[in-house]
Copies of this chain bind each other. A is one copy, B any other.
Amino acid sequence: MTEFELIERYFNPLIPPAQRGEDCALLDLAPGEELAVSTDAMVAGRHFPEGAAADLVARRALAGSASDLAAMGARPLGCTLALTLPEIDPSWLAQLSRGLARGTSELKLPLLGGDTTRGPLTLTLTVLGALPRGQALRRGGGRPGESVWVSGSLGGAAAALEFPTMAPDEPLQQRYWLPAPRLELGQALRGLATAAIDLSDGLLADLGHLCRASGCGALIDPLRLPLHAQALERLGEDRARALALSGGDDYELCFASGVPAGQIEALGRRLGVALHRIGELVAEPGVSLVGAETPRHTGYQHFGGGREP
In the assembled complex, the Cα of A298 lies from the Cα of B6 at a distance in Å of: 15
A43 touches B301 (CB 8 A): no
Q: Is A283 part of the binding interface, using a Cβ–Cβ cutoff of 8 Å?
A: no
A3 CB contacts on chain B under 8 angstroms: 301-304
Q: Is A94 part of the binding interface, using a Cβ–Cβ cutoff of 8 Å?
A: no
Please tell me the size bucket of the interface on A: 35 or more
Least Cβ distance of A79 to chain B in Å? 9
User: Does more than half of chain A's interface fall in helix, strand or loop, or is it mixed?
Assistant: mixed
In the assembled complex, the Cα of A120 lies from the Cα of B71 at a distance in Å of: 30
The residue of chain B having its C-beta at the shortest distance from the C-beta of A126 within the complex is B126
A39 touches B82 (CB 8 A): yes
Number of copies: 2
Least Cβ distance of A50 to chain B in Å? 13
B39 touches A113 (CB 8 A): yes
Kindly supply a per-residue 1/0 record for chain A positions 52-74, scoring 1 wherever the CB is within 8 Å of any chain B CB and 0 otherwise: 00000000000000011101101
Kindly supply a per-residue 1/0 record for chain A positions 26-42, scoring 1 wherever the CB is within 8 Å of any chain B CB and 0 otherwise: 11110100111111110
Q: Is A21 part of the binding interface, using a Cβ–Cβ cutoff of 8 Å?
A: yes
Closest 6 A/B residue pairs (Cβ): A2-B304, A24-B36, A39-B80, A23-B71, A126-B126, A23-B68
17 contacts between A and B (CB under 8 A): A2-B303, A22-B72, A22-B136, A22-B139, A23-B139, A24-B68, A24-B127, A24-B136, A25-B38, A26-B34, A26-B136, A28-B133, A37-B112, A43-B84, A46-B118, A118-B303, A124-B124
Please give 20 more A-B residue pairs, beta carbons under 8 A apart, in addition to A21-B139, A28-B133, A119-B122. A2-B298, A2-B303, A6-B303, A23-B38, A23-B68, A28-B34, A28-B35, A29-B29, A29-B34, A38-B80, A39-B82, A39-B114, A39-B124, A39-B126, A41-B84, A41-B117, A43-B117, A82-B82, A116-B303, A120-B120
